[in-house]
């Protein structure tokens, strides 16, 4: 099982891969990225990830050093070279190195890095039992470049630290609003869905979310199943009173939330609609034959 790094097109073992201490990704978190996983060795939704990277680059005014189709080929090449059964790949773009100083024009040339590792998806128990989350009122760091997947994850990281200290799997950002309730935004590294009376609701882009690729596929899958699925404001009390809640991300796919701040969601077990959607999602990614915990005999 292999780990590889590729910097500006040159692939090496990660231990040999070096980036300048003057790289602005290091100095200022001046970077964007994508996390991608493979199914049967093929990077899933690669074009969508490359398109989002290109959008992030435009939002933070980092020039794409190579076009997205060429970058996609490079990602495929590094994944193939790593020879894992399944891989995860992190594709990063920083503004590059240059003399110290905040002025972005000091950066000379963007740095692109691809890191490939064996995929470590959640264990079956996570899907079988669901997870607990906490809510957090912090703001995410990317507000300056709304919608961009920027490298600075400090707010998420601190929220996750608090979640783990509380024995929870994920932290859900809630922004205070003029109403008494806060607005649900997203998880530290995931999007949030609630299920109420058979319908799926997920906060819209205007809520300040990162528009997840898994989120879009889940909306599609739900509609294909004939379920009502809409993007709409979700207030905190609605999330707490939902029949089912789940989070989505590329690596974890769909994970049931069975408790929020220690209080049970629904009956405290992964719900039937979440399971149905996950089963259909697996079929869509081409892994319909692989069992999820509830389809095991
Ligand atoms: C803040 C945030 N929101 C949502 C997501 C889910 O996005 P995707 O489904 O594209 O992986 C992520 C994934 O890392 C994330 O970091």
Q: What is the pLDDT of residue 293?
A: 86
114 CA → ligand 1 middle, Å: 18
* 210 close to ligand 1 (CB < 6 Angstrom): yes
* 212 close to ligand 1 (CB < 6 Angstrom): yes
* 35 close to ligand 1 (CB < 6 Angstrom): yes
Nearest CA to ligand 1 atom 15: 189
- Tens of pLDDT, residues 133-160: 999 987 765 566 888 999 999 999 999 9
Which numbered atom of ligand 1 lies nearest the CA of 188? 1
pTM of this structure: 0.96
99 CA → ligand 1 middle, Å: 32
Residues 248-256, mean pLDDT to the nearest whole number: 97
Q: How would you classify residue 261: left for phi > 0, otherwise alpha for psi between -120 and 50, otherwise beta?
A: left
272 CA → ligand 1 middle, Å: 24
37 CA → ligand 1 middle, Å: 12
- Tens of pLDDT, residues 210-237: 999 999 999 999 999 999 999 999 999 9
The pair of structure tokens assigned to 96 is 């590059």
- Tens of pLDDT, residues 63-105: 999 999 999 999 999 999 999 999 999 999 999 999 999 999 9
- Tens of pLDDT, residues 170-201: 999 999 877 678 999 999 999 999 999 999 99
Pocket test for ligand 1, best of 45, 49, 188, 212 (most atoms within 8 A of CB): 212
């Amino acid at each position: 099982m292999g780990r590889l790094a590729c910097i500006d097109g040159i692939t090496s073992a990660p231990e040999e891969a070096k980036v300048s201490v003057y790289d602005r990704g290091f100095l200022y978190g001046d970077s964007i990225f994508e996390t991608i996983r493979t199914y049967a060795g093929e990077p899933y939704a690669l074009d969508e990830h490359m398109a989002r990277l290109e959008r992030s680059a435009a939002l933070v005014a980092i020039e794409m050093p190579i076009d997205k189709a060429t970058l996609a080929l490079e990602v495929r090449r590094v994944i193939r070279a790593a020879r894992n059964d399944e891989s995860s790949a992190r594709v990063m773009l920083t503004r590059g190195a240059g003399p110290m100083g905040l002025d972005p024009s000091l950066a000379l040339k963007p740095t692109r890095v691809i890191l490939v590792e064996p995929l470590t998806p959640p264990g079956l128990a996570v899907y079988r039992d669901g997870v607990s989350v906490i809510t957090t009122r912090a703001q995410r760091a990317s507000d300056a470049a709304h919608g961009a997947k920027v490298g600075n994850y400090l707010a998420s990281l601190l929220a996750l630290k608090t979640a783990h200290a509380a024995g929870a799997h994920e932290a859900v950002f809630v922004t205070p609003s003029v109403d008494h309730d806060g607005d649900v935004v997203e998880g530290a590294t995931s999007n949030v869905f609630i299920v109420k009376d058979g319908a799926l609701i997920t906060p819209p882009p205007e809520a300040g979310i990162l528009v997840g690729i898994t989120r879009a596929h889940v909306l599609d899958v739900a509609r294909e199943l004939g379920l009502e699925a809409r993007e709409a404001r979700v207030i905190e009390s609605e999330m707490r009173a939902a029949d089912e809640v789940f989070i989505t991300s590329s690596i974890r796919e769909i994970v049931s939330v069975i408790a929020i701040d220690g209080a049970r969601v629904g009956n405290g077990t992964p719900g039937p609609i979440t399971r149905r959607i996950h089963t259909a999602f697996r079929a869509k990614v081409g892994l319909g034959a692989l069992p999820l915990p509830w389809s095991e005999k």
